[in-house]
Amino acid sequence: MPEGDTERNSIVPVKSSEVVKRATLKFLYVIVIPMVLVSLLVHIIWGVTRRIRAVFVKSKPDVVITPNTASHSEVYGNPTIPSILPVPSFGKYLGDIFGYFSYLAKGGPNSLGKQSQLIGKTVFSTNVGTPVVVCGDHLSAEVLFANVDNLTQAHCINLVSTRQSKPIFTTHGLEAQKARQFIVSLLPANENTDNFRDAMETVCLKMDGWAALSKTKLHQMSLEEAVGELVYNFASCLLLGSSLDQSLIGKVFPMPNYLPRYPTMPITLLPSFQNMQSALTEMFEQSKQSDSWEQVATKAAAGGLSEREAFEQLFTAITFNAAGLSNSLLNGILLASLMPDRGQQLLEDEAHLTSFSWELLRHNGPTVMMRLTEDTMIETAKGNHHKLRSGTIVLCSTSMAQRDGSQWKDPSVFRSKRFIGNSLDFVSNDQVDEPLPTLGFGCPIHRSGRTEKVSNMHQCPFLPLAPAFLKAFLRLLIGRYEWSFDADVLANVHVLTNDNGLEVDYDLKHLRGGFKANVDMVPIMAKGMRFSSFSQL
């Protein structure tokens, strides 16, 4: 055989996967990594420059445009009212990227309450990757929610990488009204409907699956993840009539609520972008095969939404329910296990069960970041006023605002009977001693006698069903199952009283913090929350 033929035959063919791998690595080395490094350097330098300018160049107080409402005219026209500039205090700011990691290292949203207590303010500046003003009490939060349209036009949660159409809370005007009306049209009026009961049946089936696990697998099961899947299934069945594929959901959501604003790069270059889009498309096609899709499509058309837009609104509603309700379920399971007879007293006392559910919701609520599009006057529960300039990024931790001592007695205590004797219907006009905690749903806390309406167009449509869902879940949990936790789990729960109702020390030092809404305000546990036993009665 000729020598040339021998050389040709010795060449090993390169697999197509290897070619793709090499091309991807070359793309990363040549384009993406240098882009990221340059962007980091530029924004660190820019951050230091802004810091130096803020320290040495004293700006004049903000000139705030006087609103049409006469009630605030004196406040707006008063030059002595302090103005909070969107720049944190000296020593807390060295470039945006460092501020972001510093924020997470200090506990994320949970650190807000600690900072507020430390400096004695409910409105203050901090750095969470970019300078922001934090509103930490109920009244400052309500001022923000009073005009959500002005805030959500430039929402800081990075959802653009996962969706073409925007969810309700990042839209405004007619677009948001159509989306909201569509979601509301699919929700049951109350818990006494077939689709609510069918959705709760999926919860029961999931928990029956927990009971069927071997002891080894039960001990390995992360309750945080299992509860999230449970709520995903409930919300999917409630709105779509069938469950979404959990593996596909995991490719799209949850996205972190707090992403560094820098380095900036086109989202289409993110490695996960195409996976997110294909996962959404696959779930969309699966949803179109469900028995409920004809009804969904009809209501979408009536609301002026395409089928794809309708699906993405539903997807957001389903996944945000899981993120928003998981920590209440985790707290409910944990705390009910500490009550006499695992909470049987709750099943025998409807008022106590309802109060317990609202108290779970008080220790719940997302942290939201928004950019002001208008000059805004912020008032605190103490009567202080602050002027915030247009363009300022505002951060509000609603779970922290619902721990405001001016509204709730001993706010750091979980008190199962806190709302007994008060109005337990958030639409009632009866007088309440301690208001129902509705800030986490994007609307003011409920108090009778207030002149403005409790709800607004951006209020979470699930608000009327949230306490009903928690009550149904607790009835199912306590009435059908028996469960326990190991001593090392219960050691993290600091019970104050357990005779006439349950009272637990929920001081911030005992609770988790961070950017994961599903576990925020849940007791700190080194190994997470895991059952030692779970079985059917």
Residues sharing a CB contact under 8 Å with residue 273, sequence separation 6 or more, in sequence order: 161, 267
Q: Quick one: 147 and 193 in the same domain? A: no
Considering the domain architecture, whether residues 447 and 502 belong to the same structural domain is answered as yes
DSSP 8-state class, residue 340: G
**Which of the residue ranges 241-255, 319-333, 444-458 would you say has the lowest mean pLDDT?**
444-458
Same domain, 136 and 76: yes
* The predicted structure's pLDDT at residue 483: 96
| Distance (Å) of CA 403 to CA 115, 117, 406, 455 | 14, 12, 9, 20
The reply to whether 129 and 242 lie within a common domain is no
Which has the higher per-residue pLDDT, 297 or 167? 297
Q: Is the pLDDT of residue 215 over 80?
A: yes
* Per-residue pLDDT at 230 exceeds 80: yes
303 and 429 co-located in one domain: yes
Residue 422 confidence (pLDDT):
64
Per the structure, the count of domains in the chain is 2
pLDDT at 50 over 70: no
- Domain assignment of residue 6, yes or no: no
Q: What digits encode the pLDDT tens for the residues 349-381?
A: 999 999 999 999 999 887 777 777 777 888 888
**pLDDT recorded at residue 206:** 95
Of 170, 189, 195, 192, the residue nearest 180 (C-alpha): 170
- For the chain, the average pLDDT equals 77
More confident call, 491 vs 129: 491
- Asked, for residue 394, whether it belongs to a domain, the answer is no
Cα 104 to the chain's mean position, in Å? 16
- Position of tokens 């005779």? 499
DSSP single-letter state for residue 448: T
Q: Is residue 507 part of a domain?
A: yes
Cα–Cα nearest to 165, from 349, 14, 339, 317: 317
Average pLDDT over residues 475-504: 93
Last residue of a domain, one of 119, 154, 189: 154
111 and 201, same domain (yes or no): no
Percent of the chain with pLDDT over 90: 32
Query: Do 191 and 116 belong to one domain?
Result: no
CB 161 within 8 A of CB 270: yes
pLDDT at res. 280: 87
* 133 and 281 co-located in one domain: no
* Mean pLDDT (whole number) for 485-507: 92
Within-domain flag for 469: yes
- Helix, strand, coil in percent for the chain, rounding step 5: 50, 10, 40
Query: How many CB atoms are closer than 10 A to CB 383?
Result: 7
In a domain, 197, yes or no: yes
pLDDT of residue 264: 54
pLDDT at 456: 52
| Res. 137: pLDDT tops 60 | yes
Three-state SS string over 196-223 comes to HHHHHHHHHHHHHHHHHCCHHHHHHCCH
Three-class SS state of 384? coil
466 contacts 307 by C-beta, under 8 angstroms: no
Within a domain: residue 373? no
For residue 499, CA distances in Å to 415, 417, 502 come to: 12, 12, 7
Torsion of CA 499, 501, 505, 510, to 10 degrees: 100
Supply the range of the domain harboring residue 347: 168-365+412-536
Query: In this structure, is the dihedral angle defined by the CA atoms of residues 181, 282, 366 and 84, taken in order, positive or negative?
Result: negative
Residue 100, in any domain of the structure: yes
- Does residue 76 carry a pLDDT above 50? no
Quick check: helix, strand or coil at residue 272?
coil
- The DSSP secondary structure of 126-171, one letter per residue, reads EESSSEEEEE-SHHHHHHHHTTGGGTGGG--S--TTT-SSPPGGG-
Give the orientation angle of helix 293-302 with respect to helix 173-186, to 10 degrees.
150
Residues 194 and 290 placed together within one structural domain of the fold: yes
**Whether residue 144 sits in one domain with residue 210:** no
Which of 129, 154, 179 delimits the end of a domain? 154
Taking residues 505-512, what's their average pLDDT?
A: 90
* pLDDT tens, position by position, 411-436: 999 999 999 876 544 444 444 578 88
Residue 481 has pLDDT above 80, yes or no: yes
Look at residue 3 and tell me if it is in a domain: no
pLDDT at 102: 75
Same domain, 272 and 191: yes
Q: Which of 154, 183, 218 is the last residue of a domain?
A: 154
174 or 401, higher pLDDT: 401
CATH number of the structural domain spanning residue 442: 1.10.630
329 with 425, same domain: the answer is yes
